[in-house]
């Protein structure tokens, strides 16, 4: 089961499968009306990216969404059939595409409702597409910051986003040690960077921050405990935790963060990591939301506002 859930290299390192539909074809940027539908799950950090960018870019009316939850046999299921074809699982939706489909039926997935076909099921391909659409939200990848965004993505994705999975799904001590070392070295470096920079790329929230945030928001609840990322908790990083609180407190962001769904999904469905299905004693959703709603004082790092930091009482 572990080999099916988390394929590994001969040394025991987790090897994430590539997405078969990695990017949105360019013609969708100019197609109107846009008949696209997003399939996502609140529990999944990769799907969370798409929900977050959809909200920040004010695309709710342009891109409708259907949510799935972990179900039987490891399939993503609809809590009630909400697809015109009466599909019970996300696999059923994938199978509607021309020629059918027998690959991994993952979230997020962007679907062409008119052609009944998969457009993209790679999270970063979807968020780049969402960011390129005309909307009322701020540009999360402005041209002058693209090189910086790429720089941070090259650190955050392999060492943190995928790094927590490399820790949790490691099948040898050597693989775990290497993954954990890289994970916490990257978190230490970003903690230092955020001591003088409001966001990863200065004063502007970007896609790089979105990608980091969806891992950080799950860190203490899931990765620290279940994935053995135990060296430090997020709350022990003052700058990283303040940064997470600031993003959480932005308009619409908290509505995309469903802590109960996150905990239930990870502890209830990752059988090889938690065969008993026991959910550990963790802060409830209200307590977690209260912690993340505490003042962050990150605005004092803005280059346009360099007032002295407030002194501790």
User: For the purposes of burial, counting CB atoms within 10 Å of the CB of 56, is it exposed (0-12), middle (13-18) or buried (19 or more)?
Assistant: buried
**Does the annotation list 128 as a binding residue?**
no
User: Cβ contacts of residue 195 below 8 Å, gap of 6+?
Assistant: 239
The response to whether 76 counts as a known ligand-binding position is yes
Residue 313: how many CB atoms within 10 A of its CB?
3
Please state at what angle helix 207-218 crosses helix 146-156, rounded to 10 degrees.
30
256 is in an annotated binding site: no
Preceding amide of 212 cis, omega within 30: no
Residues in CB range of 63: below 8 A, 6 or more apart: 34, 36, 37, 38, 54, 130
Contact criterion met (CB below 8 Å) for 156 and 183: no
User: Smallest Cα–Cα separation from 129: which of 34, 205, 213, 199?
Assistant: 34
Q: Would you say 207 and 141 are in contact if contact means Cβ atoms under 8 Å apart?
A: yes
Burial 194-220 (b: 16+ CB within 10 A, else e): beebbbbbeebbbbbbbbbbbbbbbbb
Please answer whether residues 169 and 68 qualify as being in contact, where contact means their C-beta atoms are separated by less than 8 angstroms.
Answer: no
| Start-to-end CA span in the chain (Å) | 53
Query: Is 46 a known ligand-binding residue?
Result: no
Known binder of ligand: residue 276?
A: no
Q: Is 111 annotated as a binding residue?
A: no
**To the nearest 10°, the Cα dihedral for 133, 138, 141, 144?**
120
Q: Are strands 109-112 and 36-40 parallel, antiparallel or unpaired?
A: antiparallel
* Residue positions annotated with a catalytic role: 44, 165
Annotated binding site for glutathione: 76, 104-107, 122-123
Annotated binding site: 76, 104-107, 122-123
């Amino acid at each position: 089961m572990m080999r099916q859930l988390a394929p590994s290299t001969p040394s025991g390192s987790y090897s994430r499968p590539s997405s078969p539909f990695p990017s949105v074809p360019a013609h969708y940027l100019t197609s109107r009306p846009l008949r696209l539908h997003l399939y996502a799950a609140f529990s999944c950090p990769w799907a969370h990216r798409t929900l977050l960018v959809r909200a920040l870019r004010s695309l709710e009316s342009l891109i409708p969404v259907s949510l799935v939850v972990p179900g039987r046999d490891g399939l993503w299921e609809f809590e009630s059939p909400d697809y015109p074809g009466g599909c019970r699982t996300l696999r059923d939706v994938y199978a509607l595409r021309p020629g059918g489909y027998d690959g991994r039926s993952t979230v997020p997935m962007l679907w062409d409702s008119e052609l009944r076909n998969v457009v993209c099921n790679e999270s970063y391909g979807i968020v780049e597409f969402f960011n390129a659409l005309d909307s009322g939200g701020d540009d999360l990848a402005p041209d002058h910051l693209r090189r910086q965004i790429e720089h941070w993505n090259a650190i955050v994705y392999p060492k943190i986003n995928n790094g927590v999975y490399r820790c949790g799904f490691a099948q040898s001590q050597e693989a775990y040690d290497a993954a954990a070392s890289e994970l916490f070295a990257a978190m230490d470096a970003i903690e230092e960077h955020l001591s003088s920079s409001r966001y990863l790329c200065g004063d502007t929230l970007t896609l790089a921050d979105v990608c980091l945030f969806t891992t950080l928001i799950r860190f203490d609840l899931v990765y620290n405990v279940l994935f053995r990322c135990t060296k430090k908790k997020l709350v022990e990083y003052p700058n990283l935790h303040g940064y997470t609180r600031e993003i959480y407190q932005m308009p619409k962001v908290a509505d995309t963060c469903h802590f109960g769904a996150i905990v239930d999904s990870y502890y209830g469905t990752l059988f090889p990591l938690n065969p008993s299905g026991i959910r550990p004693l963790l802060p409830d959703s209200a307590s977690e939301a209260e912690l993340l709603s505490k003042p962050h004082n990150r605005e004092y790092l803005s280059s346009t506002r360099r007032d002295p930091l407030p002194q501790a009482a």
